[in-house]
Amino acid sequence: MPASYPVGATNVEGETLSLSTTLASLGIPPNVYQAMLYGPSSDFRMNLNPAIKDVYFYDASADAGSRYSSQTINLLDRSTSTGTGTAMDAATTSDYLNICLEEPTAGIRVVIGAANGNTSTLLAEYRQNDDSWTSLSATDGTVSSGDTLAVTGSITWTAVTNWKRGQLGGPNDPFDTTNADAPTTNGMWMRLSWNGALDSDTEIDSLWALNNDTKRGYFRTGQEYKISFDRRVLGSIECILASGTDTLQITWVRT
């Protein structure tokens, strides 16, 4: 029997998010388009964050035509067992993790699956209006003992206004017109690199965007809120309390 619309729920999953005066965020699981949020015992504020549209690893040592890879990684859905897989193992200082965002952001949340144990500093860059890669002067929350991508954390920066929307590859791309597999996804591109080779087993399990806007919505204590997501443009939520600590109860609704 074909589905009737609006499409009914096929499954529900419960999850909690610990809240405090420090921003907490959570990626929306795959195939989830609605959620029921039950507020904590104090008022909270929340943002809906832009989606990550595409992620490509650039391997500088590969032959032209096969330097960009997305086939072996899956960072678009939070609840995936794939992540970056082996793509970033022993990544060199000439390699990049390219990330395409739906909208400009002020950070990304990085969930580490296998920690980098080599000394290295992260560089986060964005593609600005003049087609140059420019440093975001990011604060790296994944660093531990001098090793980037060592612990789960947020990479954050001050919001920028000259982020260019465009393609990373293809015939109209001034960066790479010769590499046949350069991605052509249209969006806000950024990239991560490191000044020291990564560990032989370095993996990111999940990745989601943080918001560019601090004008978060107001939500009252003890209320249940039902929210629908447009997954073409949304990928995560972020919440914060004015004071204290508490827990947000979330029921994800699959359709």
Distance of CA 247 to the CA centre of its chain: 23
> Residue 49 in contact with residue 25, Cβ under 8 Å?
yes
Tell me if residue 209 falls in helix, strand or coil: strand
What is the rounded average pLDDT of the residues 28-47?
Answer: 94
Model confidence at 47: pLDDT above 70? yes
- Residue 241's nearest CA partner among 225, 220, 255, 212 is 220
CA distance 186 to 53: 9
What percent of the chain shows pLDDT beyond 70?
91
Tell how strand 24-27 and strand 68-69 pair up.
unpaired
Least confident of 76-90, 101-115, 192-206, 211-225: 76-90
What is the rounded average pLDDT of the residues 76-95?
Answer: 88
Pick the CATH number of 51-210 from 1.20.1440, 1.10.3470, 2.60.120, 2.60.40: 2.60.120
Residues 119-136: pLDDT tens digits? 999 999 999 998 889 999
181 or 66, which is more confident: 66
> Residue 151 in contact with residue 115, Cβ under 8 Å?
yes
Confidence of residue 23 (pLDDT cuts 50, 70, 90): very high
> Residue 134 in contact with residue 90, Cβ under 8 Å?
no
Domain segments of the chain: what residues? 11-49+212-254, 51-210
- Position 3 scores a pLDDT of 45
> Residue 99 in contact with residue 222, Cβ under 8 Å?
no
Confidence of residue 183 (pLDDT cuts 50, 70, 90): confident
pTM above 0.85, yes or no: yes
Distance of CA 88 to the CA centre of its chain: 16
For residue 104, say if its preceding peptide bond is cis, omega within 30 degrees of 0: no
Q: At the topology level of CATH, where does 11-49+212-254 sit? A: Jelly Rolls (2.60.120)
What is the rounded average pLDDT of the residues 34-40?
Answer: 94
- Position 1 scores a pLDDT of 40
CA distance 126 to 101: 11
Model confidence at 204: pLDDT above 90? yes
Whether 51-210 and 11-49+212-254 are alike in CATH topology: the answer is yes
| Residue 161 burial (10 A CB sphere; 0-12, 13-18, 19+) | exposed
- Position 229 scores a pLDDT of 94
> Residue 204 in contact with residue 110, Cβ under 8 Å?
yes
- Position 74 scores a pLDDT of 84
> Residue 55 in contact with residue 70, Cβ under 8 Å?
yes
> Residue 72 in contact with residue 87, Cβ under 8 Å?
yes
What is the rounded average pLDDT of the residues 42-48?
Answer: 96
